[in-house]
Amino acid sequence: MTKAMTAYVAFELIAQGKLDPAQTFIVRPETWAAWHGKGTSMNLRSGESVTLDALLHGITTVSANDAAEVLAEGAAGSVAGWVAQMNAEAVHLHMANSHFATPNGWPDNGATYVSARDLVRLGDAIITRHPDLYHRYFGQKQFTWNGVTQHNHDPTVGVIPGADGIKTGHTNEAGYNFLGSAMRDGRRLIMVIGGARSEEERTAASRALLEWGFTAWRSQPLFARGALVGEAWVQGGDARRVGLLAPRAISTVLPSGTGKLADLSIVYRGPLVAPLAKGAQVAELEIRVDGLPPSRLPLVAADSVGKAGPLDRLWNGLMGLFS
C-alpha cells in the first residue's frame, strides 16, 4: 500500500505542473535488472520509453514494483529523492505514525511502516484533492502492457455497490492488507484491513466492513463547505476576533436507529497571535458522540488579520476594559 503514497506524490506534482502524464521516462538497464519479475511487475523492458500515465496505471492497478522504481528515478532523479518527497507529504498530511523507505513497499525490515489512521488520511487526501486523477487511475479492473494483461486484486470494486478503490497490499511481514473506499448516496467511507492471513480472509473482511459501515451507521451533516462555525480571539491583531470556517463539508456518523446527537466544541490554543493568513488552519472542531473516541477536523481563518498598529492596540485595550 506504500504505492498509494507514490501515486499521491505524483498527483501533487501533476497538479503543480511539475509532472505531465504524457511525459516519458526511460527504463534504466540497472533498474530493469534489479526489478524485472521481482514481485508484481508491469513487465517493463530494459531501455524502453514509458509514459507517466502508463506507470501510474501499472502502480495503481497491478501494483507494479518496477513501475514505482522507474517513476521515482525519472521524476526525482533518484529513489532517495522520491522517498524524501513521500515523507515530506506524510508530514504535511499529519501522518504521525508512518515512514517510507521505498517507493513500492518492498519488504525492508520495518523501515517502512504505516498506521491504519494514517492510511485513511492518505486515502482521503487522494480522493478529495485529486478526484479526477483518482477516478482515472484507481478502481480499474485490469491493465495491459507489452502484451500482458493483469487484473486488479481489489476485493470490492465491481462487487460492493459504490466501491471505487483504493489499494491492496501483501508482504510476508504485513500480511494481506487493503485500503478501500466506497461512496453511496453522497456518503463516502474509507476503511483499512491489516494483517489478514489470506487473500480470502482479506476479501471477506473488506466486504463485511464496508457493508457494516453503510448499514450500522447514519450520517449527520453539520456544516457546509465555507460555513461559519464560530470565532476565535486574536492577540496583537488589527481585529480582536477572527471567524472560523469549515474548509470542506463536515459531517459525523451516528449509530443507525438512535436519536443521539453529536456534541461539538471549538478547540484552539489561544488567543491566536497575529498576523493570521486567510484560509490558514487555526483551530479544530471536536466532535464527540457517546461511546466513541472524539474526532477533530480543521477550521480555517475566515479573514486575514494583520498586526495591530498603535491605534489598533489602543482601541483593543479600551474594548478589553469594557468586555
CATH number at residue 267: 2.60.410.10
pLDDT in tens, 170-190: 999 899 999 999 999 989 999
Contacts of 227 (CB under 8 A, 6+ apart): 245, 246
- Of 122, 213, 112, 196, nearest in space to 155 by CA: 196
Q: Are residues 186 and 87 in the same domain?
A: yes
Cα dihedral 206→207→209→212 (10° resolution): 170
pLDDT in tens, 40-52: 999 999 999 999 9
Average pLDDT for 294-303? 95
Return mean pLDDT, the chain. Answer: 94
List the helix and strand counts (H, then E) for the chain: 9, 15
At residue 319, the pLDDT reads: 52
Average pLDDT for 131-152? 97
Provide the domain limits for residue 227.
221-322
Q: Are residues 162 and 256 in the same domain?
A: no
- Report the distance separating Cα 171 and Cα 152, nearest Å: 17
pLDDT in tens, 113-125: 999 999 999 999 9
Q: Are residues 54 and 198 in the same domain?
A: yes
Q: Are residues 144 and 229 in the same domain?
A: no
pLDDT in tens, 13-25: 999 999 999 999 9
The confidence band for 313, taking pLDDT boundaries of 50, 70 and 90, is low
Cα dihedral 204→205→210→216 (10° resolution): 110
Q: Are residues 226 and 251 in the same domain?
A: yes
Average pLDDT for 252-267? 88
Looking at the predicted structure, is the pLDDT value of residue 320 above 80?
Answer: no
Q: Which amino acid is at 167?
A: K
Q: Are residues 33 and 131 in the same domain?
A: yes
Average pLDDT for 129-155? 97
At residue 291, the pLDDT reads: 78
Q: Are residues 89 and 164 in the same domain?
A: yes
Q: Are residues 193 and 248 in the same domain?
A: no
Average pLDDT for 292-300? 92
- Of 312, 299, 310, 311, nearest in space to 272 by CA: 299
Q: Are residues 175 and 228 in the same domain?
A: no
At residue 316, the pLDDT reads: 52
Average pLDDT for 152-161? 96
Picking from 172, 188, 215, the residue at the C-terminal end of a domain is 215
- Give the dihedral sign, CA 24/27/31/35: positive
Looking at the predicted structure, is the pLDDT value of residue 318 above 50?
Answer: no
Interstrand relation of 228-235 and 272-273 (parallel, antiparallel or unpaired): parallel
Phi and psi at residue 248, in whole multiples of 5°? Answer: -150, 165
Q: Are residues 72 and 197 in the same domain?
A: yes
pLDDT in tens, 50-105: 999 999 999 999 999 999 999 999 999 999 999 999 999 999 999 999 999 999 99
At residue 261, the pLDDT reads: 83
> Among 17-31, 60-74, 220-234, 252-266, whose mean pLDDT is lowest?
252-266
Q: Are residues 188 and 281 in the same domain?
A: no
Looking at the predicted structure, is the pLDDT value of residue 323 above 60?
Answer: no
Percent of the chain with pLDDT over 90: 87
The confidence band for 292, taking pLDDT boundaries of 50, 70 and 90, is confident
Per the structure, how many domains does the chain have?
2
pTM of the entire structure? 0.87
Q: Are residues 117 and 33 in the same domain?
A: yes
Q: What is the CATH number of the domain that holds 165?
A: 3.40.710.10
Length of the chain: 323
Picking from 215, 245, 266, the residue at the C-terminal end of a domain is 215
At residue 317, the pLDDT reads: 54
Picking from 159, 191, 215, the residue at the C-terminal end of a domain is 215
At residue 310, the pLDDT reads: 61
